[in-house]
Structure 1
Amino acid sequence: MTNDLLGRHRAVLPDWLALYYEEPLEITHGEGRHVWDAQGNRYLDFFGGILTTMTAHALPEVTKAVSEQAGRIIHSSTLYLNRPMVELAERIAQLSGIPDARVFFTTSGTEANDTALLLATAYRRSNTILAMRNSYHGRSFSAVGITGNSGWSPTSLSPLQTLYVHGGVRTRGPFASLGDEAYIAACVEDLKDLLGHTRAPAALIAEPVQGVGGFTAPPDGLYAAFREVLHERGILWIADEVQTGWGRTGEHFWGWQAHGRNGPPDIMTFAKGIGNGMSIGGVVARSEIMNCLDSNSISTFGGTQITMAAGLANLNYLLEHDLQGNARRVGGLLIERLRAVAAHVPAVREVRGRGLMLGIEITKPGTDEADPQTAAAVQEAAREGGLLIGKGGGHNTSALRVAPPLSLNVAEAEEGAAILENALRSIT
């Protein structure tokens, strides 16, 4: 019984471990773009385990690779040579665009960002970090310390000095009324002013599209303009691609490529989708940065044979089936459909995003005031209609997050849009 499981959950797990829905859902199995709950109800999944089931549920190529690897060896640690880990690292290094790249595998995006911060601060011998307002980078002590979204930052204590920069939220804040070029110029001047009041930072860490923050993004080219300022001062650029990587945005394989006129980032982090549900995270950096640590280190569970086998099979499937192109095509249809619906729903302030990474911002009609209760009501109504979506927001916002597996087809996109239309109209 779900109620019995909920009681057991509450008895042994932390109160702060969030659950969706007034009546929380137990998902028992999935296939393709659909999942089923313990009562046998079928749902179209437009959130993919927080953007983690990237290709499809129960993808045969991935389950076969996991099963075959489990029959050989599951784990040996990084103290031994590991063929699947080397093979996946070679692929990711080549795809990253970072010259002379080295790859270190972790078990999550949080751990990847934690490692990137360690590398940057050690390389630059500075514990000052620049981060974006409204950002989210994980739940570890150091990652929480650089998170610019107060809803996900439970402590102000931190091993780092963090300074927050304008620019991650295009349609809010002091520069929102400006055109794109003027907006970028104003954010660059703000960055320069900030740098004039602090010791040299180690790095700027930024999500090309802010995930937990509600799928917000700056104009294309902002981080390229930032990079010119940073490079002059030797400050590193860390691109947090935990949610944006692997072609989800459709137009680019990595989110940073929308800002890439001055080359790739110095450090890039990834996680979530590459494992299609298996626990994989990682860091890519130039060799001089990755090799700057002067003490021993290992990863007990990062790069295990079974997760690497899953990652290789998943990456092969994604590339062979051009899921980036599919995200661009189907995502383009979906966002236009949702914008057409939203035009008749006063509570929708904005439908934004790219590829299959779309946000629907909910406010009190006629205002810019966030309305999390209404956003929750839409999420509940979507579930009743057979659709699972996420929530997010920050900067006094509330947003619904739409991020299906990248193999979503047009018929499923239309089905999901119709359910979302009914859910949004139910609040008017």
Structure 2
Amino acid sequence: MTNDLLGRHRAVLPDWLALYYEEPLEITHGEGRHVWDAQGNRYLDFFGGILTTMTAHALPEVTKAVSEQAGRIIHSSTLYLNRPMVELAERIAQLSGIPDARVFFTTSGTEANDTALLLATAYRRSNTILAMRNSYHGRSFSAVGITGNSGWSPTSLSPLQTLYVHGGVRTRGPFASLSDDAYIAACVDDLKDLLGHTRAPAALIAEPVQGVGGFTAPPDGLYAAFREVLHERGILWIADEVQTGWGRTGEHFWGWQAHGRNGPPDIMTFAKGIGNGMSIGGVVARSEIMNCLDSNSISTFGGTQITMAAGLANLNYLLEHDLQGNARRVGGLLIERLRAVAAQVPAVREVRGRGLMIGIEITEPGTDDADPQAAAAVLEAAREGGLLIGKGGGHNTSALRVAPPLSLNVAEAEEGAAILENALRSIP
């Protein structure tokens, strides 16, 4: 049956629509931190549909909210007042830390980042954008145009002029050997030099932890130091929280808070986990930025009632059960366990991350050269052992990505770590 579905998939869907595994997997249902395939095999899910199943599969509170809302009305568009949308916007505005915040809902992180770019360029009357090397911000024309990871940028054409900044990858590049303070100083000097050679940009867009890039991050405080330079010149800071938001990093509710000594970003984008599988994205911005557009606009599907009901229920569960704290505690244990394993596997260059956002970089032993074949083999071996993980990275997709639902318990973390250990030790 799966082979038949794979043939049908290939017959009608694009060749560039990536599938994991030599024998692609059809997931039929899930519960908690586990999913099942069409053959009845059970897997511990450490990727959550690309960091989207944030709390748990089939979370009763969310499924109940969706069912009840579906029984009333599913959709009406933004042309009508929408109570669940207003309620979720109020919650997110308060949690964002952005003063006098306004919230606009979209259907994805790509669309959220696209909207943030529209706001920043309209507000600043500039089409120049600063972005980070190794970054990823979505698959729309404008988002692809600013992506700093060539593996995910199929065209160089763009409505924007994009300039790339150092700093998103701590352990590679010309500043890797420096101390954290010296690294930040060098990146700031590079930013100042770059700004001296260009017209004033609209904004810097940056992921506090780079997602598709392999869960890489700068030292805490880098974006705060950047913000000082940007603020002096009126340049906006867009924090792309599509993957880092909602407490996943454990230490903070938002990734930007690790860099927050100079205040919150001017614009923040979010998506993925808030809907727990429902299509929700969005933008939060100061009112004068959000309201700068001088033409009419609506959203047909952004903020639709059924997704807003899911988001409210999911956010309530997240906060009431302190899943941020759970990510910090269980994620800390998992990182230490994986680092202990990695110390005995020469092909593991680095285990990095925070909370339940962990990257394992695979290279040819004794070198910094990426080994995407070995990374793919670990992905396959983990599946054989009953564990689903992801992959990414700016160096030929040689980083494994570990991002379970935030309700992961210690026993499940130990089980997943044991499967990963066996998979890593299988590298020739």
TM-score range for the pair, normalised by the shorter chain length = over 0.9
Q: Secondary structure at the match of 2:143?
A: helix
Partner deviation per Cα, 1:291-322 (whole Å, 9 max, x = no partner): 00000000000000000000000000000000
List per-residue Cα deviations over 1:332-374 (Å, max 9, x = no partner): 0000000000000000000000000000000000000000000
Distance in 1 separating the partners of 2:397 and 2:56:
30
- The CA deviation string for residues 83-114 of structure 1, in whole angstroms up to 9 with x for no partner, is 00000000000000000000000000000000
Cα distance in structure 2, aligned partners of 1:76 and 1:245: 28
The CA distance in 1 between the partners of 2:72 and 2:396, in whole Å, is 51
User: Per-residue deviation at 1:396?
Assistant: 5.0
Contact 1:267 1:285 in 2 (8 A): yes
| CA deviation string 1:44-78 (max 9, x = no partner) | 00000000000000000000000000000000000
- Distance in 2, matches of 1:306 and 1:145, equals 32
The aligned runs of 1:296-311 (5 Å cut-off) are 296-311=296-311
> CA offsets per residue over residues 371-419 of structure 1, 9 Å max, x none?
0000000000000000000000004561000000000000000000000
CA distance in 1, matches of 2:427, 2:286: 50
**CA deviation digits over 1:95-143, x for unaligned, max 9?**
0000000000000000000000000000000000000000000000000
TM superposition outliers: structure 1 runs of 4+ over 2 Å: none
Once residues 370 and 419 of structure 1 are traced to their aligned partners in structure 2, the CA distance between those partners, rounded to angstroms, is 23
- Over the aligned positions, Cα root-mean-square deviation in angstroms equals 0.5
Contact 1:98–1:285 (CA under 8 A) maintained in structure 2: yes
Shift of 1:264: 0.0
Question: How many residues were matched structurally?
Answer: 428
8 Å Cα contact 2:239-2:267 kept in structure 1: yes
8 Å CA contact 1:136, 1:210 repeated in 2: yes
Q: 1:13-56 CA distances to partner (integer Å, 9 max, x unpaired)?
A: 00000000000000000000000000000000000000000000
1:248 alignment counterpart: 248
Which residue in the other structure is 1:184 paired with?
A: 184
The 8 Å contact of residues 370 and 395 in structure 2, kept in 1 or not, is answered as no
Mapped to 2, the partners of 1:61 and 1:396 lie a distance apart of 40
**Cα distance in 2 for residues equivalent to 1:172 and 1:423:** 25
Alignment partners' CA distance in 1, 2:346 and 2:232: 46
Question: Counterparts of 2:180 and 2:400 in 1: how far apart (Å)?
Answer: 25
Aligned pair 1:73/2:79, yes or no? no
Q: Distance in 2 between matches of 1:327 and 1:338?
A: 15
The CA deviation at 1:276 is 0.1
Question: Structure 2 matches for 1:67-146, cutoff 5 A?
Answer: 67-146=67-146
SS in 2 for 1:406: coil
- Aligned CA distance change for structure 1 residues 181 and 397 (closer, same or farther; 3 Å): farther
Q: Contact 1:361–1:397 at 8 Å: present in 2 too?
A: no
Q: Is the 8 A contact 1:70 1:306 kept in 2?
A: yes
CA contact (8 A) 1:56 1:406 kept: yes
Task: Extract unaligned runs of 5+ from structure 2.
Answer: none
Distance, in Å, in 1 between the alignment partners of 2:263 and 2:397 is: 32
- Name the SS of the counterpart of 1:297 in structure 2: coil
2:248–2:357 contact (8 Å) kept in structure 1:
yes
Alignment match, 2:4: 4
Does residue 418 of structure 1 match 2:418?
A: yes
TM-score (norm 1): 1.00
**3-state secondary structure, aligned to 1:314:** helix
What is the alpha-carbon distance in structure 2 between the residues aligned to residue 297 and residue 397 of structure 1?
Answer: 38
Q: Secondary structure at the match of 2:284?
A: strand
The answer as to whether partners of 1:369 and 1:397 remain within 8 angstroms in 2 is no
CA distance in 2, matches of 1:397, 1:41: 27
For 1:92 and 1:397, the matched residues in 2 are separated by 33
- Take 2:374 and 2:88, find their aligned partners in 1: how far apart are those partners? 43
* Cα distance in 2 between the residues matched to 1:227 and 1:272: 26
- Encode CA deviations 1:218-266: one digit per residue, 9 max, x unaligned: 0000000000000000000000000000000000000000000000000
Quote the offset at 1:7 in angstroms.
0.0
Query: Aligned partners of 1:122, 1:51: CA distance in 2, in Å?
Result: 31
TM-score, normalised to structure 2, is 1.00
Percent of residue pairs identical: 98
| Alpha-carbon contact 2:371-2:396 (below 8 Å) kept | no
User: Could you tell me how far apart the structure 2 residues matched to 1:423 and 1:362 are?
Assistant: 12
Q: In 2, distance between residues paired with 1:419 and 1:266? A: 42
Q: Provide the secondary structure at the position in 1 that maps to 2:350.
A: strand
Structure 1 CA distance, aligned partners of 2:262 and 2:222?
11
Query: What SS does the aligned partner of 1:126 have?
Result: coil
Q: Is the 8 A contact 1:249 1:354 kept in 2?
A: yes
Deviation at 1:168, TM superposition (A): 0.1
User: Which digits, 9 at most, give the CA deviation of each residue in 1:141-186, with x for residues without a partner?
Assistant: 0000000000000000000000000000000000000000000000
CA distance in 2, matches of 1:395, 1:292: 39
Does the CA contact (< 8 Å) of 1:251 and 1:328 recur in 2? yes
Counterpart in the other structure of 1:167: 167
The 8 Å contact of residues 363 and 397 in structure 1, kept in 2 or not, is answered as: no
For structure 1, which segment, 392-401 or 261-270, has the greater mean C-alpha deviation from structure 2 after superposition?
392-401
SS of structure 2 residue aligned to 1:25: coil
The alpha-carbon deviation at position 217 of structure 1 amounts to: 0.1
Determine helix, strand or coil for the equivalent of 1:256.
Answer: helix
Distance 1:266 1:396 in 2: 33
